[in-house]
A and B are shown apart, each in its own frame.
Chain A
Amino acid sequence: MRIDGGDNLRAEALSCVRGDKLLFRDLNFTLEPGQAGLVTGPNGVGKSSLLRLIAGLLEPFSGTIHVPTSVAICDDRMALDENLPLQDALRFWASLDDRLEGDCADAMGAADMGHLAEVPIRYFSTGQRQRARLARTFLTAADLWLLDEPANGLDTASVELLGQSLQAHLKRGGMILAASHIALPISFNLQLELTALEEMETPQ
């Protein structure tokens, strides 16, 4: 069950099943405002599923997850119209979230995309696309940021810049749960290591 509207992120005996496979079970953790969590584990172990489950895009198999009122998720998909210039594509989400024009500029600046505001998204390189996704996430006023491999495709300077934005979000009392294979330049209060479960533990 997923209950939103709380102050913190709290999982109680959380289990997730995808298809016939039990990905994780009896997961317990708490993330308070201003705290960051890192999800680690090998490919296919259920890191992305955990983030999607917290975002409400998947149903837990069992257990309860308490989430704050507003959540933002950043995965490997753009969710921005390819033919529009970056600022116009971002403006859709900005107005949906009741954000102001200045917030758009700030978010693009925080992702070092200000100089590309008028370039259509289809021309972006891999790293620029990732920074556009991050700008879209920075733009939300969400309490909890769920970041799936946020540093993929970023150069060293961009990873540093990402670290600054994450730090600022934590300072505001925000929460971050990230799954990343690349070291992020912030200190994590919580480490969740997901491990592959034995085949015999598959539910019937």
Chain B
Amino acid sequence: MIGALKMMIWRDVRQSYASGGTWLPVIFYLSAATLFPFAVGPDRDLLLQTGGGILWIAALLATLLPLDRLVQPDLDSGFHDQLLVRGIADELIAFARLISHWLAFGPPLLFAALLASGLMGLEGPPLITLLASLAIATPALAGLAVMIAALTAGLKGAGALGGLLLVPLAIPLLIFGAGSLADQSGSALLFLSAVSLLLVAITPFAAGAALKAMRE
């Protein structure tokens, strides 16, 4: 079972990086960060105050970009069925997807956030808090992406529906994540960790149930 998990993760990660799809969220993220100073003007204090929040919103939006290639291609190509026939459960497939998607999504996004924070003039402790909050949240964002991709697989207009589904589900992450930037006590980061852990923990089961229901 562990061997199968490793192989599925390795295949997904290799495919994501080889197809170049991994860099799409990064480019999107950097463009959003570049546009923001043009829109609000080069006022340093204003950028410092709002920059972290903007980078957080850009991270949520970047989550939406890879939705259509997380689950649907493997369902269409029969790959998913071939895994099931070998006795691999939907939940394990979803779990492998969660890990592989995080590996292809989390580190590049953090790297992009590091570059983008330069454009906002963020440095020192606020920068470290921002990167820490994003690092804690990216597994949850990857989990949300996998859940939504599984729920909307096979539907018409899955992309638009995915956007609608993500917004309410990501609100707790945004509140504690962006909230941690102004919070000195560190408790916002702890709440963020709790929310992130919860979302990661339910992802294999929620996505697995969605995939099962689709076969009926």
Known: A55-B85, A56-B84. A79 touches B7 (CB 8 A): no
Shortest CB distance A18–B (Å): 10
Q: Is the interface on chain A under 10, 10 to 19, 20 to 34, or 35 or more residues? A: 20 to 34
Residues of A within 8 A of B15 (CB): 81, 83
State in angstroms the CA–CA spacing of A96 and B79 once bound together. Answer: 13
A186 in contact (CB, < 8 A): no
Interface residues on B, range: 10 to 19
User: Does B11 reach chain A (CB closer than 8 Å)?
Assistant: yes
Nearest CB in chain A: distance from B54 CB, A:
36
From A81, A82, A83, A96, B86 is in contact (CB under 8 Å) with A96
Distance between Cα atoms of A26 and B215 in the complex (Å): 23
A71 and B76 contacting across the interface, CB-CB below 8 Å: no
Which secondary structure dominates where chain B touches chain A? Answer: helix
Q: Is B82 in contact with A79, judged by CB distance below 8 angstroms?
A: yes
* Complex-state Cα separation, A58 to B81, whole angstroms: 11
Q: Is A115 an interface residue (CB 8 A)?
A: no
Contacts of A95 in B (CB 8 A): 3, 7
Task: Assess the A58–B215 pair: CB atoms within 8 A.
Answer: yes
Q: Does A78 contact B (CB under 8 A)?
A: yes
Say yes or no for A124: interface residue by CB 8 A criterion. no
A83 touches B79 (CB 8 A): no
0 or 1 for each of A64-75: is its CB under 8 Å from B? (1 = yes): 000000011101
Known: A55-B85, A92-B7, A97-B86. A79 touches B77 (CB 8 A): yes
Q: Are A57 and B81 in contact (CB under 8 A)?
A: yes
Whether B7 contacts A73 by the Cβ 8 Å rule is no
| CB <8 Å contact, B85 and A77 | no
Cβ of B125 under 8 Å from chain A: no
Interface centre among A71, A73, A96 (most CB of B within 10 A): A96
Residues from chain A with a CB closer than 8 A to the CB of B3 are: 95-96
The 10 residue pairs across chains A and B that have the minimum distance between CB atoms: A77-B78, A79-B78, A79-B82, A79-B79, A55-B85, A78-B77, A73-B85, A57-B81, A79-B77, A77-B77
Contact residues of A with B, CB < 8 Å? 55-59, 71-73, 75, 77-83, 92-93, 95-97, 136
